[in-house]
Structure 1
């Protein structure tokens, strides 16, 4: 669950992006797993879903070493965070943390490879 105010808008990186609604100080936890809201979807459940639901999960959910029993799906607009090779969010720990000060209206970015080393992505470099 995002712990800082954000909004979704057009992205210069790819499609839509998630933007900081106010400044975020370096070291701030910006996302933390919220049981009951964020979900870890077991593989057997994914296999039982219709094709359009599996396609949604293929795009917005991912495997995570921190949540190893399925696909992690955030309930909020986290799914609009785009990839960057020099991101402003660190996802190398269980919480996502601002790597540096992030200005209001700046797009939030992460390195998808920190989330899932196997990931194929669009946008970013």
Structure 2
């Protein structure tokens, strides 16, 4: 769950991204996992989902680092956060994210998917399923 004010807009990185609606100071906690808000989806339900739902999950969910067999789907703007090899946030301790530097109002908020998604590879056009990665113990 994002803990800072954001909005979604066109991104120079990919499609749309999440942007700071107000300045964010270095060290600010910007996100934390809230199972009462964010969805934890059992992998075994994936095969029975309609194809349109599978496409949504493949694009916006990721394997839960601490609950094998589950996918995390953020229901707020967090799901639009784009990957960067030089992000302005730190998600290396799963369950929370902080700003690594001051983030200006209107600046895209980015994260490094490798910090919470073991084996992440940016696929061409985001094709493919994430279920195999989530099923790993």
TM-score (norm 2): 0.83
Matched with 1:9 is 9
Is residue 2:105 matched to residue 1:113? no
Change (3 A) 1:100 1:71: same
Q: Please tell me whether the aligned partners of residues 27 and 98 of structure 1 are also in contact (alpha carbons under 8 angstroms).
A: yes
Matched with 1:38 is 38
| DSSP 3-state at the match of 1:101 | coil
Is residue 2:101 matched to residue 1:100? yes
Q: Which runs of 4+ in 1 moved over 4 A?
A: none
- Aligned length, in residue pairs: 123
TM-score (norm 1): 0.90
Matched with 2:51 is 51
Query: Residue 67 of structure 1: CA displacement?
Result: 3.9
Partner Cα distance (2:69, 2:103) in 1: 32
Partner Cα distance (2:68, 2:31) in 1: 18
Partner Cα distance (2:46, 2:28) in 1: 33
| DSSP 3-state at the match of 1:34 | coil
| DSSP 3-state at the match of 2:8 | strand
Structure 2 residue runs without a partner (length 5+): 125-137
Q: Point out the more displaced range, 16-25 or 36-45.
A: 36-45
Change (3 A) 1:47 1:122: closer
Higher helix share: 2
Partner Cα distance (1:27, 1:72) in 2: 24
Task: Report the aligned-residue RMSD.
Answer: 1.6
Partner Cα distance (1:97, 1:46) in 2: 31
Query: Residue 87 of structure 1: CA displacement?
Result: 0.2
Partner Cα distance (2:66, 2:20) in 1: 25
Query: Residue 44 of structure 1: CA displacement?
Result: 1.1
